[in-house]
A and B are shown apart, each in its own frame.
Chain A
Amino acid sequence: MTALAGEASPTRTPPWRDVRVLRAVAQIVFLIGVIAVAAYLGNNLLNNMRRIGIQTNLDYLDQPAGFTIPGSSFRRTQSRMDAVMVGLGNTLRVAVAGIILATVVGTIVGIARLSRNWLVRTGARLYVEFVRNVPLLVIVIFTYLAVFLRLPRIEDSAEALGGIVSVRGVWIPWYEGGDRFATWLLLLAVAAAGAWGVRRWRQRVQDRTGDRAFGILYGLGVFAVGATVSAVALGGPIDITIPDRDGRLVSGGIRMAPEFAALLGALVVYTASHIAEIVRGSIQSVDRGQNEAAQALALSGPQRMRLVILPQALRVAIPPLANQYLNLTKNSSLAVAIAYVELTKVTGDLIGNGAPAPQSYGFLMLLYLMISLVIAAITNLVNRRLRLVER
């Protein structure tokens, strides 16, 4: 009668048949196994490092780097930690610029793929089908060696739209801000908040009375007035400087080194082809009935787009888009092939100048993980917000 367990029989389950005990034992055995493997590998690592004579602590980060970084004011005597931070800054610079540009280009191409115009559709398709199926590294190296290093010399540089294009780099018009610009940005934020409030108020009026209340027009008006008044009050917060070439010297504007421009260009071209597919897919994923129903409710074209299609398409598009942003950030490490000094390249340079490889790469992984986690956290936030708006 031992088969009767539980209340019927007061005998306790023996430990070797108790699921709770078995689970605990299984986990302990598993953890011991994992720790044993890790300890074995770590022990090998330490022994080998001692044998070859690599330092095993983290002191190297405070020692002077011993090399300079082109395009920054980094000095040889600054610490290795500072060098890594310069690299991190360069990674973030190319990543942010790349994400913005790739989103713009990708959206345009994605919409072009849905165009009714056969030429536009086909051109966009050719671009996407070719670029998506070629390794990014090939594109990076091609852009650098076969495009940017083949540009005209600075003496006979090409000038277009206020920019200067030459083998020494690309100059584009830029703003010269300073403190006044920062103040203006602050005031703009205040104006934007005010505009948002006014829009909300007009929306409520419209909801209550049923008359059109022109919320967006009111909001834009408030913002425009705020921006103009504050700009006048500050006496012109920004000066746009246009690059100007005199012989071999360029003054004004902002310079992009050929390495930076090539990496940025390649990342944008490659990521835009992936984003284009996401944009196309997410617009196509919205059921046709949604558009037709909105038409039946007499919503105008832009209203249909803004109130019906886009919110649904965006919800589909955000997770893969965030994934592409993450990929772009990680792919900026391909700069090692063309000597743009971002995180991975600076780590390689550190090791070339005597920093211990295992710790340096461990630190590198840590930094990339932090970037990934930040982007993932932002995505989750946006996702949650979109879901709340929807239901």
Chain B
Amino acid sequence: MSPTVAAPDLVPPVPPRSPRVWMHRNLFRTPGDSVVTVVSGTVLAYAAYRTIRFVLITGRWEIIERNLTLFMVGRFPRDELWRVEVAIIVALGLAGLAGGLVASGRSISDPEGLEPDAGDWPTRVRTAVARLWPVLAMIMVLLILAGTPGPALLAIAGLAALLAGRRVGALIPRSIRGYVIGFTFLSPFVVVAVITAGGGVGWDQWGGVLLTLFLAVGGITLCFPLGVLLALGRRSDLPAVRVVSVSYIELFRGVPLVALLLMGSLTLQLFVPPSWAPGPIIRATVVFTLFTAAYIAEIVRGGLLSVPAGQTEAAKALGMSPTRITAFIVLPQALRNVIPAIVGQFISLFKDTSLVSIISLVEILGVAQVITQQPGFAGQGLTAETLVFASVIFWVGSYTMSRESQRLEAKLGVGTR
């Protein structure tokens, strides 16, 4: 009959924080660990030394400096560049509008308003820098390389458009919000319209980052309807529909994209009447669309499987028709669950656009290869410089997007429910 004694509130001992303790725990825990540290430290230090030496001393970056415009827009006519500049400002304004809408919508549904708009200005700027530092650093490097005030003015105007769009987005009354959101989803088309409007510049003159973004955004947007249809077709209870969908998906997933692009660039014009023969950029877009649709279909199928059967049964009990159940009950939930996966697919599409340099379209990688043949730079072995620059552009884009998609995943709580 020992009386129960309340355990004293024991606080776990807080390990002392100091550089010495940190180094002991993380670098020199055991003798073997120390050896590993010394060896890998030497290797890493040498790699860092070589990298820094290449970037600051031995690398000959004039080739990038001189061809910066080529990297950005390819052979876009130089006296029509204002179209691209207007398009950038419009795009950033629309992006800000969308961001403002989302943020204000959240403040109603989620009154705690956790992030990223919480806090005062300095905190918000700090959060933005922490999230977007690769993009910001890239823009700084570009502005320094450009060396003229024009691009800097463009950057400031773009930033102003972004912030203004955000403010306006937050002010839009709820009654018309739906229409505005719909409009911002059409923004890629608006941007393309701005660039090509009024007998402007044909697509075949596009290049560089402009072409990369066009192919990636165009591919992911256009493939979406087909991908959703294929996903629904694969789950259909009509065997004929199922067989056709599965064959399409497996065919396009089993074949490398390069082979499809080469095939498309050589044979796509043979499948239509001669008068319709598409240009090279359209052919590439069609191939990207058909290819990505198969992958989107598999992603959406996963989303469809994640919707509990009870949802369909409840809708049936309410007397909804199968079409309406799919359109209003199942698909919205399925698509919401797969947004991060779709972003992932967009990232790989963004990287895969580099393959069009094989069919002699001049996107980022194409520019990187072409400019090493320029008179004045030819035969000097500057491929390392141009390829490193191209890979950094790709890295900034896809690293930032994948980080944002992880945040989105955490916010949607996809993995946790």
Chain B residues within 8 Å of A135, by CB: 351-352, 354-355, 365, 391, 394
Which partner residue on chain A sits nearest B23 by CB separation? Answer: A118
Interface residues of B in 391-409 (CB under 8 A from A): 391, 394-395, 398-399, 402
Q: Verify B267–A361 contact, CB threshold 8 A.
A: yes
Q: Of all chain A residues, which has the CB nearest B28?
A: A117
User: CB of B31 within 8 A of chain A?
Assistant: no
CB-contacts of A20-34 with B (<8 A): 23, 26-28, 30-31, 34
Cross-chain contact A333 with B37 (CB below 8 angstroms): no
Contact count band on A: 35 or more
The reply to whether A336 and B262 form a contact with Cβ atoms under 8 Å apart is yes
Q: Are B40 and A373 in contact (CB under 8 A)?
A: no
Contact of A41 with B266 at beta-carbon distance under 8 Å, contacts A27-B239, A117-B36 already known = no
Known contacts A134-B394, A139-B391; 9 further A-B pairs (Cβ under 8 A): A51-B274, A133-B398, A137-B354, A137-B355, A141-B365, A337-B357, A361-B266, A365-B263, A368-B256
> Are A116 and B365 neighbours in the complex by a CB distance under 8 Å?
no
A and B contact pairs by CB, cutoff 8 A, 14 listed: A117-B33, A123-B43, A134-B395, A135-B351, A142-B384, A142-B388, A333-B258, A343-B259, A344-B256, A344-B262, A361-B262, A364-B259, A365-B255, A372-B250
**Separation of A134 and B259 alpha carbons in the complex (Å):** 20
Contact A361 B358 (CB under 8 A): no
Q: Using A133-B394, A146-B387 as known contacts, say yes or no to A333 and B256 having CB atoms under 8 A apart.
A: yes
A30 touches B241 (CB 8 A): yes
- From known contacts A138-B365, A357-B263, infer whether A45 and B271 are also in contact, taking CB-CB under 8 Å: yes
Q: Are B274 and A138 in contact (CB under 8 A)?
A: no
**CA distance in complex: A358, B254 (Å):** 18
Which of A134, A136, A357 touches B267 (beta carbons < 8 Å)?
A357
Q: Point out the residue from B40, B357, B369 that lies within 8 Å of A123, measured CB to CB.
A: B40
Closest Cβ–Cβ distance, residue B383 to chain A (whole Å): 4
**Cross-chain contact of A330 among B256, B383, B387 (Cβ < 8 A):** B256
A22 CB to nearest B CB, Å: 10
A48 within 8 A of B: yes
Cα distance A34–B240 in the bound complex, in angstroms = 10
Asked if A150 is at the interface of the complex by the 8 Å CB criterion, the answer is yes
Closest A residue to B29 by CB, please name it. A116
User: Once the chains are docked, how many angstroms separate the CA of A373 from the CA of B354?
Assistant: 27
A318 to B368 Cα, complex, angstroms: 38
Q: Mark B228-270, 1 if CB is under 8 A from A, else 0.
A: 0000000000111100100000110111111100110011011
Chain B 25-52, CB-CB to A under 8 Å as 1, else 0, gives: 1110100010011001101100000000
Could you mark each residue 372-393 of chain B with 1 if its beta carbon is under 8 Å from any beta carbon of chain A, else 0? Answer: 0000000001011001101100
Q: Report the Cα distance A120→B36, complex, angstroms.
A: 8
A272-293: CB near B (< 8 Å → 1, else 0) gives: 0000000000000000000000
Question: Which of chain A's residues has its CB closest to B242's CB?
Answer: A27
Whether A49 is near chain B, meaning CB under 8 Å from some CB there, is: yes
A45 to B273, CA, bound (A): 9
In the complex, whether B176 has a CB less than 8 A from a CB of chain A is no
Q: Chain B: residues with CB nearer than 8 A to chain A? A: 25-27, 29, 33, 36-37, 40-41, 43-44, 238-241, 244, 250-251, 253-259, 262-263, 266-267, 269-274, 347, 351-352, 354-355, 357-358, 365, 368-369, 381, 383-384, 387-388, 390-391, 394-395, 398-399, 402
Given A45-B270, A118-B26, A146-B387, A138:B240 Cβ within 8 A: no
Q: Which of B27, B240, B399 interacts with A133 by CB under 8 Å?
A: B399
From residue 111 to 140 of chain A, which have CB atoms closer than 8 A to chain B? 116-120, 123, 129-130, 133-139
Chain A residue at minimum C-beta to C-beta distance from B22 = A118
A119-B41, A130-B395 known; A27 and B365 CB under 8 Å?
Answer: no
Q: Which residues of B contact A190 (CB under 8 A)?
A: none
Verify A44–B271 contact, CB threshold 8 A: yes
Given contacts A116-B26, A119-B44, A357-B263, contact A44 B36 (CB under 8 A): no
Q: If A117-B26, A135-B352, A336-B262 touch, does A27 touch B240 (CB 8 Å cutoff)?
A: yes
| A290-B318 Cα distance, complex, nearest whole Å | 45
Residues in chain A near residue B271, CB distance under 8 A: 41, 44-45, 48
C-alpha gap A120/B34 in the complex (Å): 11
Contacts of B274 in A (CB 8 A): 48, 51
For residue A365, which residues in chain B have a CB less than 8 angstroms away from its CB?
251, 255, 259, 263
What's the nearest-Cβ distance from chain A to residue B82, in Å? 30
Contacting pair A26 B354 (CB below 8 A): no
Closest to B37 in A: A119
Q: Is the CB of A331 within 8 A of B26?
A: no
B234 to A: closest C-beta gap in Å: 14
Interchain CA distance A142-B354 in the complex, whole Å: 13
Q: Tell me the interface secondary structure of chain A in the complex.
A: helix
Q: Any chain B CB within 8 A of the CB of A5?
A: no
Please name all residues of chain B whose beta carbon is closer than 8 Å to the beta carbon of A145 when the two chains form the complex.
Answer: 383, 387
Which residues of B have CB within 8 Å of A44? Answer: 270-273
> Please, which residue of chain A has its CB at the minimum distance from the CB of B266?
A357
Given contacts A48-B274, A51-B274, contact A123 B44 (CB under 8 A): yes
Chain A residues within 8 Å of B347, by CB: 133
A334 at the binding interface (Cβ < 8 Å): yes
Contact of B391 among A23, A142, A364 (CB under 8 A): A142
Interface string of A342-375 (1 = CB under 8 A from B): 0110011001000001100100110011001100
CB < 8 Å: which of B240, B390, B398 contacts A31? B240
Name the distance in Å between A212's Cβ and chain B's nearest Cβ: 28
State whether B270 touches A120 (Cβ < 8 A).
Answer: no
Give Cα A344 to B244, complex, Å.
26
Ranked nearest first, the 7 interchain pairs of A and B with the lowest CB-CB distance are: A118-B26, A372-B254, A330-B256, A361-B263, A27-B240, A135-B354, A135-B351
Given A48-B274, A133-B395, A333 contacting B365 (CB threshold 8 A):
no
Q: How far is the CA of A136 from the CA of B26 in the complex (A)?
A: 33
Complex CA gap A155/B258 in Å reads: 37
Q: How far is the CA of A285 from the CA of B394 in the complex (A)?
A: 30
What is the bound-complex CA distance between A2 and B44, given in angstroms?
83
C-alpha gap A142/B258 in the complex (Å): 18
Please give the distance in Å from A280's CB to the nearest CB on chain B: 15
A372 / chain B contacts, CB cutoff of 8 Å: 250, 253-255
Minimum C-beta distance from A295 to chain B (A): 20
Which residue on B lies nearest to A344, using beta carbons? Answer: B259
Q: A344 with B258: in contact, given A27-B238, A116-B33 (CB under 8 Å)?
A: yes
Residues of A21-66 at the interface with B, using a CB-CB cut-off of 8 Å, are: 23, 26-28, 30-31, 34, 41, 44-45, 48-49, 51
Q: Which of B238, B267, B355, B402 contacts A358 (CB 8 A)?
A: B267
Contact in complex: A27, B351 (CB < 8 Å): no
A147 to chain B, nearest CB (A): 9
Closest to B248 in A: A34
Cβ of B256: which chain A residues have Cβ within 8 Å of it?
330-331, 333, 344, 368
Does A138 lie within 8 Å of B239, measured CB to CB?
Answer: no
CB distance from A361 to the nearest CB of B (A): 4
Decide: A27 near B395, CB < 8 A? Known: A142-B387, A365-B259: no
- A-side contacts of B365, CB under 8 Å: 135, 137-138, 141
Bound Cα distance A41, B395 (Å): 39
Task: Find out whether the CB atom of B37 lies under 8 angstroms from the CB atom of A117.
Answer: yes
Instruction: Flag if B255 contacts A368 (CB, 8 Å).
Output: yes
Residues of A near B391 (CB, < 8 A) are 134-135, 138-139, 142
Set B240, B272, B369: member contacting A141, Cβ < 8 A: B369
